[in-house]
Structure 1
Amino acid sequence: MNFTDTTQEKILPIVMKFVNLKPVQAIKDGMLFIMPLSIVGSLFLLFAEFPYAPVKDFFANIGWAPAMYQANNATMGIMALVAVIAIAHSFAKNEGVEPLGAGFTGLSAFLLLLNWNIPVEEVEGGVAGIATNWVGSEGVVAAIIIGVFVGYIYTWLLKKGVRIKLPETVPSGVANSFNALIPLFIVVLLSAIIYGILGSMNTSFLDLIYTTLQIPLQGLSDSVAMAVIHPLTVHFLWWFGIHGAVTVGGIVEPILRTNLAGNAALYRAGELSLEKGGHILTVANTNVFMTPTGSGMTFGIVFYMLFSAKSEQYKALGKLAIGSSLFNINEPIIFGTPIVMNPLLFLPFILVPMIGHLSGYFLIRVGILPMAHGIEVPWTTPPIIQGLLAGGWKWALFQVVLLAMSVVVYFPFIRAADQQAYAQEQADGELTPDQLAKEIAE
């Protein structure tokens, strides 16, 4: 049994079984709701902390900077609130249960499990209120746990018929509201018991999760191991035709996005550094250093097809794929070359993004490249512009280096594939470029 067969029969079933677990699906689907907030909040932070001093001073002088910071607070700053609602909502929706009630039940549980006290100097016992750090990045892991827990309990109770039954003549909106009453009560009761127990120990659920789970997870996410494992798993799955970015991203992106939000807070305070708790690996690094021009950083393949290919198949494919590749969409290359299940291209497809991600990690650690300062650029932003917005001119310049590296590393492998395709065309009788383009498009 060869490597491909062994992987397909032994490893992939285990991976897919994990990926298809209900909690994992709910987390993956729910955390997607955070992305628009993160991107919009990043744009306001970009204007408030614009890297060109005259522009930054202009916004500060006309008094717009506070409004932009507030816009950032109201988007990136409520990540945990959105996460707990969205995950509980997604869990219920995936189970075929009315999801809105689950989402708001999750929100109620999250707020109940918070410590509603803010320590203030010279005020004995502090003041009543919610510290904003808990509804933002520091509460994300707790929000994930609460969202899954609430989604499961809420769904299980409704499926078991634990609800207030109303006549069929009652409008569905009213019926759904009453259906949520008993699950809501049970979740709130359980949350109140947890709050009371932990309160007697002078802590809270969010404090406990943050110190015992989130901090270690964020530390792990900033390690060399993660810099290797992340690109390896994403592209290993892609090679088998499984969307690695979505599959793995649903698991690791919540932490990487939390790292980015933490960097944003430090950047605003003028304290972004490793010593102050800044993070090397964030969701911005993934887009800029690992997947520019798409998963596998396949710019080198497209470049070869456009300027060096002999086979009509690859010439046509290069012309078709260049436009989408500039916006980091490269499924035409992955499935059209093909890279999927192609042993010839397995090594560079794994190696190129790993080199990019790992080299970016070390260059940030030694201080040659700056850390991501909190800007999440839309993943479809073209390379170079993407790097400039996410990390400044040094990131943009490094993207140029990475794209050149992609051309060099892919060259011998795609040339061999091109020679095979050219020989096959010669043997079968060449099709015209128009015919090949039509076949590829279909």
Structure 2
Amino acid sequence: MKKFMDWLSNSFAPKAKKLTQRPSVAGLSSAMQKLIPFILTGSIVFFYNVFRSYISVLPDLSTISNYSFGLIGLIAAFMVANQYMEKFNHRQYAITAGIVSICSLMMFLHPVAAEEGVYEMDRIGPTGILIGVIVGMGVSVIFHYYAKLKLFKESNVPDFVIEWINNIIPIFASLAFWAALTFGLKIDIFAVIIGAFGPIQSFGQSLPGLILLVLIPAFFYSMGISTWLWSAIQNPIFIAGIAANTLAVQQGMDPSNIVTNEVVYSIGLIMMGGTGATLALNIMMLFSKSKKLKTLGRICIWPSIFNINEPLVFSTPVVMNPLLMMPMWINSIVGSCVVWFVMKGGLLNIPSELMQLAQIPAPISSVILTSDFRAVLWYVLLFGIYFGVWYPFFKVYEKEVLAEEIEEAKEPTFINTTESVA
């Protein structure tokens, strides 16, 4: 174990952190974070609709959701190109590249356009988020390599003319590329991309897919690398899953996709207290014999209740602490398996509405999202499981901390007895 931890600490973690700082990775991660407000706006409307279903006089706010979350593919196209230009230090193209990405994505509606000009707008909604990401990346590549050419750098042409030319060329090249594929070769790019990523989506909706989508972020998080890094991989799978569930319910069928943001994060069963199910660890710390751990437990308990565990993970610390990293990984696997089999077995409803309520304490969020009071029972049972996993590791770590505190107490205290002379 010691050799493994040394390798993680001294070799793997530094290289992984360096990778996350590369513009090609950081840009995508940043873009996904900037999508969150639009997703949450839609979530608020869906949450509001829970009350509206009981109070019919409340106004219909679906339009707000349709023009926020309902356009998430279009927004993703802009944000990806925009953030790539920021991270690659081509800030002069940040807005332009984003707008070109939107224009490019709109081309993909052409193959399904009706004669009267009616378009299938679902292609720029939740199912189009992956398409938006790819379009944004494609446009970014063109703008990035054009910017590296630094044309007209030594030219005597007026600056404003050079700026026009340096925008016109990559704009034209980007739109020409997508137009050649869409209108020239008659390729339905939307269908091609969805078909190519179909196997990935299918795997993502399997039990191994769920485990990996939960475990991998937890593994890197235990080394101090933010879980946001993986949102670019998770979100297309999550959003496509919940969109399919919503459509299934509208068609009178039962939802079947378990791997959604609602299940992984919002219902608070897999992420009880945050990544790695750290709420149980926080509860143990509240009753610890160690002054340090008890104090930290009191400080971190309120964020933990709202499924925010950064204060706990970085202060305890869990990060790069082999005794506390292991249970985080184990709980990520165990929690995923329990929730998967419980939902597949019909013992808990599968969420069918997009409501990202990760910061609403469970089991309140659990019941709201599943519309199933059995969620309270599974919350209690899973808490017991997580507690059992954390307990032996925590007690060993607590013993180490107590030993350190005893040693610190034995150290002599030096008091300055020198009196000042007037």
**TM-score, length basis structure 2:** 0.86
- In the TM superposition, 1:157-172 aligns within 5 A as 157-162=146-151, 167-168=158-159, 170=160
Q: Following TM superposition, by how much is the alpha carbon of 1:197 offset from its aligned partner in structure 2, in angstroms?
A: 4.2
Deviation of the 1:167 alpha carbon: 2.8
Output the CA distance in 2 between the equivalents of 1:179 and 1:384: 55
Match of 2:248 among 255, 266, 277: 266
Amino acid at match of 1:153: I
Measure how far apart 1:115 and its partner are.
2.8
Which deviates more, 370-379 or 150-159?
A: 370-379
1:339 aligns with 2:326: no
One-letter amino acid of the structure 2 residue matched with residue 209 of structure 1: I
* Alpha-carbon offset, residue 27 of structure 1: 2.1
- Bigger mean CA offset, 284-293 vs 103-112: 284-293
In the TM superposition, what is the alpha-carbon distance from 1:13 to its structure 2 partner? 5.9
Which SS does the other structure have where 2:269 is aligned?
A: helix
1:208 Cα deviation from its structure 2 partner: 1.2
Answer whether contact 1:112 1:192 (CA < 8 A) is retained: yes
Match of 2:403 in 1: 423
* Aligned counterparts of 1:390 and 1:162: Cα–Cα separation in 2: 54
What is the SS of the residue equivalent to 2:146?
A: helix
1:27-63: CA deviation from partner (whole Å, max 9, x where unpaired): 2221223222222112222333x2x7xx51533xx48
The answer to whether the 8 A contact 1:113-1:192 is kept is: no
In the alignment, what sits opposite 1:25?
Answer: 26
In the alignment of these two chains, the number of paired residues is 403
1:247 maps to what in 2?
A: 229
Distance change in 2, residues 1:163/1:100 (3 Å): farther
Contact 2:77 2:136 in 1 (8 A): yes
* CA apart distance, 1:329: 2.0
Could you say what secondary structure the match of 1:209 adopts?
helix
CA gap 1:22/1:130 in 2 versus in 1, 3 angstroms:
farther
Q: What is the aligned partner in structure 2 of residue 437 from structure 1?
A: none
| 2:283 is equivalent to residue 286 of structure 1 | no
Deviation at 1:310, TM superposition (A): 0.9
Is 2:139 the partner of 1:150?
A: yes
Q: Kindly provide the CA deviation profile for residues 65-104 of structure 1, in whole angstroms up to 9, marking residues without a partner as x.
A: xx43332222221111011111011111111222000000
> Which residue of 1 is the match for residue 418 of structure 2?
none
Q: Name the structure 2 match of 1:2.
A: 3
Alignment of 1:351-390 (within 5 A): 351-390=330-369
Distance of aligned partners of 1:357 and 1:63 in 2 relative to their CA distance in 1, 3 Å threshold? same
How far apart, in 1, do the equivalents of 2:410 and 2:302 lie?
Answer: 26
Partner of 1:123: none
Cα displacement (A) at 1:424: 2.6
Q: What are the Cα deviations for residues 296-328 of structure 1, in whole angstroms up to 9, with x where unaligned?
A: 211111111213x11111111111111221222
Q: Residue 259 of structure 1: CA displacement?
A: 2.0
Deviation at residue 430 of structure 1 after TM alignment: 7.5
1:230–1:403: structure 2 CA closer, same or farther, 3 Å change rule?
same
- C-alpha deviations, 1:220-273, integer Å up to 9, x for none? 110111222122212221222222x12223332232233223323334444343
Q: What is the CA deviation profile of residues 171-226 of structure 1, one whole-angstrom value per residue up to 9, with x for unaligned ones?
A: xxx98666422211111111111113441xxx41111111222x222211101112
Q: How does 1:312-331 map to 2 (within 5 A)?
A: 312-331=291-310
| TM-score for both structures, normalised by structure 1 | 0.83
**Contact 1:31 1:254 (8 Å CA) reproduced:** no
Which residue is 1:190 aligned to? 177
Counterpart Cα distance in 1 of 2:375 and 2:206: 20
What is the match of residue 210 of structure 1?
194
Residue identity matched to 1:271: M
Rounded to whole Å, the distance in 1 between the matches of 2:322 and 2:61 is 50
Consecutive aligned runs of 4 or more in structure 1 exceeding 4 Å deviation: 8-18, 162-166, 174-178
Looking at structure 2, the residues matched to 380 and 289 of structure 1 have their Cα atoms a distance apart, in angstroms, of 13
Give 3-state SS (helix, strand or coil) of 2:292's partner: helix
Paired residue type of 1:207:
A
Aligned residue type for 1:374: E
1:112 aligns with: 107
Q: SS at 2:308's partner residue?
A: coil
Distance (whole Å) between structure 2 residues aligned to residue 111 and residue 416 of structure 1:
58
Equivalent-residue separation in structure 2 for 1:13 and 1:142 (angstroms):
32
Aligned to 2:110, what secondary structure does the other structure show?
Answer: coil
Q: Provide the secondary structure at the position in 1 that maps to 2:285.
A: helix
Distance 1:294 1:57, change over 3 A: closer
Look up the match of 1:137.
126
Percent identity between the aligned chains?
A: 23
Please list, as runs of the form range in 1=range in 2, the aligned pairs for 1:403-422 lying within 5 A after superposition: 403-422=383-402
Secondary structure in 1 matching 2:274 = coil
- What is the SS of the residue equivalent to 1:373? coil
- Inter-partner Cα distance in structure 2 for 1:333 and 1:46: 29
Aligned residue type for 2:238: L
CA 176–255 in structure 1, closer or farther in 2 if over 3 Å, else same: farther
Aligned with 1:75 (options 62, 68, 71): 68
